[in-house]
Structure 1
């Protein structure tokens, strides 16, 4: 069963938008463009001692990208959730 958007009720899709001035990426609902939250930053996630070698390699490929697809954002959210449940990110 597909997930419904809590904002518009249609089929939820994840979308990433980039602020042209700051290069900060934000997550938005792709169905209605409702703002959700900032996109996880691959640089921050790389500082975690709790990521696997595969996750580290994946994140390193994303660091310099100007934009992410919804699928990439979903993977970033999964890695972020893992990092948060296993401990804090190193400074």
Structure 2
């Protein structure tokens, strides 16, 4: 990983950990695949910290620019998937 996660400096340590866990889940989806349940658990933790859709879009964009991993595509696949499925990302 040669990039930094987009975080906000006003977040608590617990909030940074929750958001970082989500970013790690997205990376895992792209690199090897991740269980839908695991990804959704990480996304729910992210949403506790970032409930605003506008802020979510901003962070997703910043993460994609830094890593080339699209959070939106992975989350969309997970939301449309079923329990027990593996979610895999596809670079554009």
Q: Give the TM-score normalised by the residue count of structure 1.
A: 0.29
Give the number of the structure whose residues are more often strand, by fraction. 1
The structure having more radius of gyration, on CA atoms, is 1
> Relative contact order: is structure 1 or structure 2 higher (C-alpha 8 Å, sep ≥ 6)?
2
Q: When you count helix as a share of all residues, which structure comes out higher? A: 2
